[in-house]
Amino acid sequence: MVLVMFGVGIWLSSSVAVANNLFEADYGSGNIYEFTPSGSQSTFAARIGDPFVLAFDSSGNLFEGDNGHGNIYKFTPSGSQSTFATGVNQPVGLAFDGSGNLFEADYGLDNIYKYTPSGNKSTFATGFDLPCGLAFDSGGNLFVGDTNSDNTSGNIYKYTPSGTQSTFATGLELPCGLAFDSSGNLFVADNGSGNIYKFTPSGSQSTFAAGLNQPCGLAFDSSGNLFEADWGSGNIYEFTPGGTKSTFANGLNGPFGLPLMSLIVSNSYWVSLRSNPRLIPT
């Protein structure tokens, strides 16, 4: 299983040779970086285009939503690149369900698309206003962060596997990164407010961290530590389960999507939107 995140994000995948490494979509440099648990950095893929979001499938293949080319690329664990899908319009969220289907938040068209493992595309949900973060809970329900074009009234919607929609949370500012912990609590990187919010399964909201600089991608490791891609500062921060913050990596250029390898938690994903100046400052 894998943990998926968007935009400036972090991911983990148990099927990859090196366990517990963090991957980061670095929008400004056009690279995907890989970090060991100790923070050692290497380049996994270089000069792709405009990498936004990342997600691992159950075989350890890394999928990347590329805003510049309008494609979704697939990378094998060894780094071999191929094109999985073309003609997407600002892919800012990616997440896999338990059956290996890839879901994509299409910011440009305000839709959520579903791709089978073989690449067949269908429309899963429509009628959004700038959809961003995606995450699946352990029950197979899909959560969608919808930023709303006014940047002040973002919602989180919940979809059952059959596609039935309900509203899980309202009144957020640019909910970008979504990730579930092992207890089923949903964590949301709220780019506009600079906060990370925690929602219990019943929807009760609290503030987990505040004062961040445009938080984007989120990802949990197997010990329950939360990683956050901080677009404004160019850092990746690590939070213990109790909320203690430390700097895991710095000097990055537009950190967006974050996935981690070797994590058995519901898929999570983060996404960020290039055309939104509050998400991606010029």
pLDDT tens-digit map of 83-121: 999 999 888 899 999 999 999 999 888 999 999 999 999
Asked whether residue 26 carries a pLDDT value surpassing 90, the answer given is: yes
- CA 206 to CA 154: how far, in whole Å? 16
Query: CB within 8 A of 41, min separation 6: which ones?
Result: 33, 34, 35, 249
Mean pLDDT of 201-225: 96
Summarised one tens digit per residue, pLDDT across range 132-191 is 899 999 999 999 999 887 766 799 999 999 999 999 999 999 998 999 999 999 999 999
pLDDT for 107 equals 85
- Angle (CA) 46-252-228 rounded to 5° is 110
Structure confidence by residue, pLDDT tens digits, 258-279: 887 643 333 333 333 333 333 4
Q: Could you tell me which CATH number the domain at 2-270 has?
A: 2.120.10.30
Are 157 and 143 within 8 A, CB to CB? Answer: yes
pLDDT at 5: 35
**Structure tokens belonging to residue 146:** 């919808």
Q: Residue 75's CB: how many other CB atoms inside 10 A?
A: 22
Q: Which residues contact 51 (CB under 8 A, 6 or more apart)?
A: 25, 26, 27, 30, 31, 32, 64, 65, 66, 67, 256, 257
d(CA 236, CA 135): 20
Question: Is 251 a residue whose pLDDT tops 70?
Answer: yes
Backbone angles phi, psi at 20, to 5 degrees: 65, 20
Q: Give residue 76's pLDDT.
A: 95
pLDDT category at 256 given cuts 50, 70, 90 is confident
Backbone phi, psi, residue 53, to 5°? -125, 155
**Partners of 53 in beta bridges:** 65
The share of the chain scoring above pLDDT 70, in percent, equals: 85
Q: How far apart are CA 43 and CA 198, in angstroms?
A: 32
Q: Which residues pair with 8 in a beta bridge?
A: 257
Mean pLDDT of the residues in the chain: 85
Task: Inform me whether the pLDDT recorded for 17 exceeds 60.
Answer: no
pLDDT for residue 169: 96
Q: What is the DSSP letter of 129?
A: S
Query: What pLDDT does residue 1 have?
Result: 28
For residue 201, the Cα-to-chain-centroid distance in whole angstroms is 19
